Structure 1
Amino acid sequence: MTRPQLPAPPETGLNTDLATHLPHWEEIYRDLHAHPELAFEEHRTAAVVASELARIGGWDVTRQVGGSGVMGVLRHGEGPVVWLRADMDALPVREETGLSYASVEAGLMHACGHDVHVAALLGACRQLAARPDAWRGTVVAVFQPAEEVGRGAQAMLDDGILDRFPRPEVVLGQHVGPLPAGLVITRPGAIMAAADSVRVTLYGAGAHASAPHLAVDPLVMAAAVVMRLQTLSARLAPLTPSPLLTVGALHSGTVPNVIPHTAELLCSLRTFDERTREDLLTGLRRVVRAEATAQGALQEPEILTYDSFPVTVNDADATERLLAALTAGGVRCEVLPVPLSASEDFGRFAVAAGCPSVMYHFGGADPADFDADAIAALERGELPSGTVMNHSPHYAPSDRHAVAAGARHLLTAAGAWLHRHESAEAPRTA
């Protein structure tokens, strides 16, 4: 069977000669992948970023922004200020990809592709510095820490980046996913969900496993809570898009013959508007407290919301401009009918700056891995059967295809704002 290929965009403008330098950025990606770091601990990654920007030349580099973030500024004449953002942190996931450059850090993995984002932005930074003839304005490269916990963007804002660095007229961000390289998906308006993590601690009364009548079993209580919580989001399923409530962890006990004192639930809540978010949080609290009371808990449960993400909203005009540039550059673009249920803190930058922003998702997989059935599924708006998603211990973007696509897309997107106008190229005539 002949496998369909998505066309490679032409190497023009800012992308000229990018291919020559891609092996270096692919090696940077492999190095970063092998050395993942958790939120606010991205010190090695930040050092690599700063070293590469210094090697490229022309960039004003500032480290330790918002903790472990890095800001790079490149000025080239009058023109717009464009921020390009890449997140840097990894996840507490044990890698199972079998890659030759798999993580050497026990229990840590770049399971979300942030290593691709960093390498791609560095590749774009090199092109911008090397091709001043192709653009005008100011580019700010934002290497952000701690996206996975939803606090990195705010930490950089709290560190004064809007006052310390050129203020953006547009903020552009991208995220790699399990799509064929050459495909970009986005939409105007809400593009990604708001998210809240919720920690629930249930208090029982422990006892010997042989005497459950003397205990208030927090595990039984937790099991009942898990089942009852499913009804909250199920009742809202007709909403489009539907909110999601997932219990991702249940921790309790240590040995089989002891009924523990406490149980802990970790929940993930994803919504697309503030009213639904408040309704679900209120419902969660009601269910947890009612079940604890029904089972005779000796203490009120603790319910803590943390690691919250806002809804990511794309500016409509900026999204149209970006899609037009990518399409003209030979990139296949699809407009999503509804937002994605994943979450980002990227939108905080534009909200704080009062400017438009656009987040888009791009394919980081080898197109040759997608047969006709897989392509047909994508055209129906579905993921092919067996797709390995971000955050999986098996998720592995193609080192060759993902970095190349990410760098090209960033340059093409940025070029939609940074292109040299004719009036800037030639003197006016009377």
Structure 2
Amino acid sequence: MSQRNTPDALAPLVPAMTAWRRDIHAHPELGFEETRTAALVAAELRAAGIAVTEGIAGTGVVGTITGRPGNRSIGLRADMDALAMQEVTGADYASTVPGKMHACGHDGHTAMLLGAAKHLAANRDGFSGTVHLIFQPAEESLGGAMRMIEEGLFDRFPVDAVYGLHNLPGLPLGTIAVPKGPVLASSDTWEVVFTGRGSHGAKPHQGTDATLAAAQFITALHTIVSRDLDPLRTAVASVGHMAAGSARAPNVIPSEVHLAGTARALAAPERDLLERRIGEIAQGCAAMLNVACAYRYIRRLPPTVNHAAQAAIAHRAAVLGLGAENARDDHPPITAGEDFAEMLLARPGVYAWLGTGDPPHPDGQHHNPHFDFVDAALAHGAAWWCSVVEAELGQEAV
């Protein structure tokens, strides 16, 4: 176990990381609005003597640290945005902005990468080559990763590999889990509109009932996973929105029913199956009940899939920095989505989990108003990032 990049070695930075994390938590900013957060990040990087580039994807920041002479470079990525939710934690540092909160731990991710940056900048003799610190805006469904890539992220800051880290409540505190292969699912949206002829609720024979088609569709939708999909594969199709008629006119059968939902898969064949079968089922239900159907499938995020070589390096980094007892390579995939997937399509790399133990509140999971990042994990996450640099660049020839 390396002594240079352990949680104990990062301990002197814990007060600063905690202060940054809580300050960001108290001042949450939504995607592409992270001006205050980005300014804090840029100022702290410059204070450590790190070269800073601002304004990528609007509010994105990249810090660059050069170690001993070397030809290789890697990227370390943290996300900065908050969610449009009302916080109820009651913490002293709770959100001061109504309707906005850090309910996914991006405040912790940003603070950990800042801590790692300070440590790496003070120990440049520990690696050869270049480390690019990527502070990304708008991870939460707004495409910040893709926008950074489109604006030349990896052209301006070339990397041989890129690494991301996300907190995970329920995983033992300080554990780093590096899944092999799929980590997270694709995240797509589908929309269906059934259009019939509205009628009086007492005279349904005078119209064609779009609500009945919608009801049949909702029931049939769930046969995709139970009957079309290999039982050993994974996919999800869920209805998240339904709108029809008026609560003030319950005696009217509406002419239109709007439905929308999400579709998730861990691999391309299952993703293709979902897109095809949702449309076929919608059209079939419409034809059966003599109504029209409009269908749209919107591909948003691809699956997040770790690259084998970098997964081995990331696991070795966890052993180096946190000890073998805190390193796992067997964590199962999760059907949430993450736009770091776009970076893994552009460059080899890894998305890892940082265990934060049991949440402070029983309901304090991601995207819950009770969520709060566990500060006790800050040193562990920062140490892993530094250990990744050691594992990737520590052996580079001078």
TM-score, length-scaled by structure 1? 0.81
TM-superposed CA distance for 1:184, in Å, is 1.7
Aligned pairs for 1:19-418 (under 5 A) are 19-56=11-48, 58-79=49-70, 80-149=72-141, 151-165=143-157, 167-178=158-169, 179-205=171-197, 218-236=210-228, 238-257=230-249, 259=252, 260-297=254-291, 299-306=292-299, 308-331=300-323, 332-336=326-330, 338-353=332-347, 356-365=348-357, 388-398=364-374, 400-418=375-393
Q: Is the 8 A contact 1:69 1:145 kept in 2?
A: yes
Q: Percent identity?
A: 35
- Flag the 1:68–1:12 CA change in 2: closer, same or farther, 3 A: same
Q: What RMSD over aligned residues (CA atoms) do the two structures have, in Å? A: 2.8
Using the TM superposition, give the Cα deviation of residue 229 of structure 1 relative to its aligned residue in structure 2, in angstroms: 0.8
Q: 1:334 to 1:27 in 2, by over 3 A?
A: same
- Partners of 1:210 and 1:37 lie apart in 2 by 51
Superposition deviation, residue 191 in structure 1: 2.3
The DSSP-based 3-state class of the residue aligned with 2:234 is coil
* Mean CA deviation greater in 152-161 or 259-268: 259-268
Distance in 2, matches of 1:388 and 1:300, equals 40
Deviation of residue 30 (structure 1)? 1.6
Shift of 1:17: 4.7
Query: Structure 1 residues 403 and 223, CA, compared in 2 at 3 Å: closer, same or farther?
Result: farther
Deviation string 1:353-400 (CA, Å, 9 cap, x unpaired) is 4xx201111112369x79xxxxxxxxxxxxxxx6743222332221x2
Pair 1:365–1:397, CA change in 2 (3 A): farther
User: Shift of the alpha carbon at 1:268?
Assistant: 1.5
The structural deviation recorded for 1:224 is 3.0
1:171 to partner: Cα distance: 0.7
Q: What is the DSSP-based 3-state SS (H/G/I as helix, E as strand, rest coil) of the residue aligned with 2:62?
A: strand
Q: Secondary structure at the match of 2:281?
A: helix
CA shift, 1:154, in A, is 1.4
Deviations 1:176-206 (A, max 9, x none): 1112321122222222222212233333455
Distance (Å, rounded) in 2 between the aligned partners of 1:83 and 1:31: 25
Distance 1:129 1:198 in 2: 46
Alpha-carbon distance change, 10 to 136 in structure 1, aligned in 2, over 3 angstroms = closer
Q: What is the letter of the counterpart of residue 51 of structure 1?
A: A
Shift of 1:210: 6.9
Q: CA deviation at 1:168?
A: 0.5
TM-score (norm. length: structure 2)? 0.87
Q: Output the CA distance in 2 between the equivalents of 1:85 and 1:300.
A: 42
Give the Cα–Cα distance (whole angstroms) in 1 for the partners of residues 212 and 368 of structure 2.
29
5+ residue gaps, structure 2? none
Equivalent position of 2:10 in the other structure: 18
Q: CA deviation at 1:276?
A: 1.7
Q: For the structure 1 residues 40 and 208, does the alpha-carbon distance in structure 2 shift closer, same or farther, using more than 3 Å as the test?
A: farther
Whether the aligned pair in 2 keeps the contact of 1:194 and 1:271 (CA below 8 Å) is: yes
Contact 1:76-1:137 at 8 Å conserved across structures = yes
Aligned length: 392
What's the CA shift string for 1:232-287, capped at 9, x where partnerless?
11225643342111222334455342555543323111112222211111110111
Secondary structure in 2 matching 1:365: coil
Contact 2:81-2:106 at 8 Å conserved across structures: yes
Q: Secondary structure at the match of 2:247?
A: coil
CA contact (8 A) 2:318 2:327 kept: yes
Which stretch shifts more, 13-22 or 231-240? Answer: 13-22
Quote the Cα distance in structure 1 between the aligned partners of 2:28 and 2:207.
Answer: 44
Asked if the contact 1:95/1:102 (under 8 Å) is kept, the reply is: yes
Whether the 8 Å contact between 2:2 and 2:320 is mirrored in structure 1 is no
- The secondary structure found in structure 2 opposite 1:83 is strand
CA 1:289 to 1:317, structure 2 compared with 1: closer, same or farther past 3 Å? same
Q: Residue 218 and residue 43 in structure 1: after superposition, are their counterparts in 2 closer, same or farther (change >3 A)?
A: farther
Residue 114 of structure 1: how far off its partner (Å): 1.6
